[in-house]
A = this chain, B = another copy of it.
Amino acid sequence: MNHSIDVCLSPNLIDLYDLKGKIVVVVDILRATSVMTTALAHGAKEIIPVEHLDEAKGYLTKKGYLCAAERGGQQIEGFPLDNSPFSYMDESIVGASIVITTTNGTLAIKRSEEADEILIGSFLNLSSIADYIKMQNKDVLVHCAGWKGKTNMEDTLFAGALVEKLKLSHQLGCDTPHMALTYWEAVKADLSETIANSSHAKRLNGLNITEDISFCMRIDEYQVVPKMKGDKLVAV
């Protein structure tokens, strides 16, 4: 095992990690990276993740872009698309260029810029991400988007699930991959029950999006590897 896997539990801690030469897997299970994975799996041409709302607004009047914006779990007025994976499954998605800004996920992508490769991970494409990484011969860092800087369950659980997939090919880099792996192993049999206790599920339940949550917890629904090429996310 010449390569390692490590886990950063919050975008507010990412400066503690050296990203150079590494594959960074950005994860925001509820719901940004699950949405991005879904859109690319359903034939979107590309996704442009933008950090600031103003930048996203600039695309609203440009021809040829579908625009999505979410803050605090809610769709922003004036944007046609929301942050539900079910909004990215129909015909209109095929071949589309989609602009997305969200509370946590797009920020984590931005803060991963120094990496050699940025992938987008979710339970929906867990095995595809793991298989892609195994072919690359690089160190890996899972960058959990969390919630406004705080660590959350669902992103940490994804980190643990990816560590489980890679533990025979990659050394565990520090304490957090051990912790995430143990946490994942302890609850994976009751994933839905665990996530029902998460603060973000409670937030989203208030917004009536229980179906989104259970969809985002499905493992290997898609075989797609979303990767940043310049400022755009495409399927590789």
Identical chains in the assembly: 2
Q: Is the CB of A151 within 8 A of B179?
A: yes
The yes or no answer to A3 lying at the interface (CB within 8 A) is no
The yes or no answer to A183 lying at the interface (CB within 8 A) is yes
Q: When A183-B186, A185-B186, A186-B183 are in contact, do A150 and B178 touch as well, CB less than 8 Å?
A: no
> How many residues on A have C-beta within 8 angstroms of the other chain's C-beta atoms?
28
Q: How far is A175 from B29 in the complex, measured between Cα atoms in Å?
A: 14
Contact check: which of B13, B153, B197 meets A13 at CB < 8 Å?
B13
Q: How far is A152 from B6 in the complex, measured between Cα atoms in Å?
A: 12
The yes or no answer to A236 lying at the interface (CB within 8 A) is no
Q: Is the CB of B199 within 8 A of A174?
A: yes
Q: How far is A13 from B156 in the complex, measured between Cα atoms in Å?
A: 16
Q: Is the CB of A175 within 8 A of B151?
A: yes
The yes or no answer to A187 lying at the interface (CB within 8 A) is yes
Interface residues of A (CB under 8 A from B): 9-10, 12-13, 16, 147-153, 156, 174-176, 178-179, 182-183, 185-187, 194, 197-200
A-B contact pairs, 17 of them (CB 8 A): A9-B9, A9-B151, A12-B16, A13-B149, A13-B151, A16-B149, A16-B150, A151-B151, A151-B175, A153-B178, A153-B179, A156-B175, A175-B199, A175-B200, A178-B194, A178-B197, A182-B194
